[in-house]
Amino acid sequence: MATFGEIPTHLTWAFETIAEGVFATDVVWRMAKERGLKCQRNTFWDLIRNPIYCGKIVVPRDEHTEMYLADGKHKPIISESLFWDVQDVLNARKKAQQVKIETPENLPLRGFLYCPECLKTLTGSPSKGRTGHYYYYHCKSPCKSRFSALKINKDFEDGLMAFLPKPGMAELFKEVIMDATSNDTLNFEQERKRLVSEVSEQNNMLTKLRTMLLSDDIDLQDYKIMKTKCDEKITNLESKLKELKENASEISDMGQIIDEALEKLQILHDLYIEGDISDKRHVTGSIYDEKWTIFENKGRTGKINLAVQLIYQINTAFGHKKARVRTNSGLVPLAVLRSKRFKYDLIRISKILVRKELLEQILQKTEW
């Protein structure tokens, strides 16, 4: 059993990334290792199946009861729902592997599309015509929904174009986020000082209590009660401090995260067009949080990753401005997008945006 020592941040990251369902578990393991997680592949597979990380312990079955999960006394590093999300992903993959479907090149969106009639996930296959093979996304019996893959694929590619940052937009996107978060740095510092001074207040109180106990001003019973209260307050304050520090470092990394995400967005289209089937599927999973539903033979998604949505909206705002065309395609190797946890960055940005309710602020600033 690994100790909780250095593991938490990397392992938490691994749980979150597996739950996204974009990368294969072994890929997540390798990425976690690059981030600094020290563990072998087999250990990793054990770790992500172990409920201890969401605060549970396994009580083995005995002659009276079946095996069950009990609340542990330790502090969980991930939420219970995240743990079960990961188990769902792992279990679903196990099933998928048993069937083992290979995705043909002409059907890159297979598994990402919902049927508009019955909302089941569409599958796809070739069908033989007079002049060759035609590819279709289609539903399962008894539903008869069927769509030309060529058309849907094209529509999807056109849609991707809308997410490419326009010239000048990347800079604005970064500027407004940095601007909106600059107050935070100040607030964080004030809040940190307040918490630190409260901790030292409680420590002073403890010293005072000890003196009173020694000089018989209070009895042991009262001392114990008051000491417990102080200790509780200190624990509470310290956990707040820790959370504050984490949030502060997230904000201070923002500039770099945004730069990387924007750079990747600029080559997203190229990766989709030129990449192989797994690249195509990776791009799809990065941009869209949900599967697409097809309406009138066109794909429509219910939910786009928030950061991407923001870019899309700023793009639209920029649409009215005359823009000098600057092409970045080809300058950045496609491998960058493949390897550098693109979706993870987008999700981090999204989380900060949601928490800060920044989206509205930023959109207000982009109304010209």
Site of interaction with Zn ion (CB under 5 A):
115, 117-118, 139, 143, 145
By DSSP bridging, strand 292-295 and strand 113-114 are parallel
Output the smallest distance, CB 295 to Zn ion, in A.
Answer: 13
223 DSSP 8-state letter: H
Q: Cβ 296 to Zn ion, closest distance in Å?
A: 15
For the four alpha carbons of 261, 263, 267 and 269, in that order, the dihedral sign comes to: positive
Minimum Å gap between C-beta 123 and Zn ion is 10
Residues paired with 121 in a beta bridge: 114
Least distance (Å) between residue 120 CB and Zn ion: 5
Q: What is the DSSP string of 307-333?
A: HHHHHHHHHHHHTTS-------TTTS-
Question: Tokens at residue 83, please?
Answer: 């743990």
- Of 117 and 175, nearer to Zn ion (C-beta) is 117
Q: Which CB sits closer to Zn ion, 139 or 358?
A: 139
Distance (Å, whole) CA 358 – CA 179 = 10
Q: Give the N- to C-terminal CA distance of the chain in Å, as an integer.
A: 57
Q: Which is nearer to Zn ion, 143 or 277 (CB)?
A: 143
Q: Are 230 and 206 in contact (CB under 8 A)?
A: yes
Q: Give dist(CA 135, CA 147) in Å, integer.
A: 9
**Shortest CB 100 distance to Zn ion, Å:** 23
**Nearest to 301, CA basis, from 316, 310, 317, 290:** 290
Q: How far apart are CA 312 and CA 309, in angstroms?
A: 5
CB 98 → Zn ion: shortest distance, Å?
A: 24
CA 229/CA 223 separation, integer angstroms? 10
Q: How far apart are CA 361 and CA 358, in angstroms?
A: 5
CB of 103 to Zn ion, least distance (A): 20
Nearer to Zn ion among residue 41 and residue 300 (C-beta): 300
As measured in angstroms, the least distance from the Cβ of 112 to Zn ion is: 15
User: Bridge partners of 113?
Assistant: 292
Of 17, 16, 19, the residue nearest 85 (C-alpha):
19
Helix (H) or strand (E) holding 58: strand 56-59
